[in-house]
């Protein structure tokens, strides 16, 4: 059986105008997120798949992110299997924050929960 390697990118390489798809849960999202990211928790991903595909049709590649990369790897794999251009952000929000990329919340600067 052939396995295609999961497409990944490091957090520092995500373009500023790239579509970040954040699959963390609501409490994690509220604490801190990438500004402009699309929030679709993994727990409701299947129910909201139509919404995700509409955005992907408009924006192209999705940079899928969670806290450290496990959940986002599963979602990335699913999207790729469905024929979408998706890459997993290696290390997730932890790597994003460590790379000095901005993390925001509703009240200004955020943090990774």
Beta strands at 104-105 and 108-109: parallel, antiparallel or unpaired: antiparallel
Give CA angle at 25 (23, 28), nearest 5°. Answer: 105
Q: Is 25 a catalytic residue?
A: no
Residues forming beta bridges with residue 88, ordered by sequence position: 8, 64
Which of 34, 38, 62, 66 is an active site residue?
66
The residues annotated as belonging to the active site are: 66
């Amino acid at each position: 059986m052939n396995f295609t390697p999961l497409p990944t990118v490091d957090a520092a390489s995500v373009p500023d105008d790239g579509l970040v798809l954040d699959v963390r849960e609501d409490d994690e999202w509220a604490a801190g997120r990438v500004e402009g990211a699309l929030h679709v928790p993994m727990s409701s991903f299947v129910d909201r798949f139509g919404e995700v595909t509409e955005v992907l049709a408009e924006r192209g590649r999705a940079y899928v992110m969670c806290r450290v990369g496990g959940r986002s790897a599963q979602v990335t794999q699913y999207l790729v299997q469905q024929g979408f251009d998706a890459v997993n952000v290696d290390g997730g929000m932890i790597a994003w924050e460590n790379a000095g990329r901005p993390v925001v919340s509703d009240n200004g600067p955020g943090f990774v929960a």
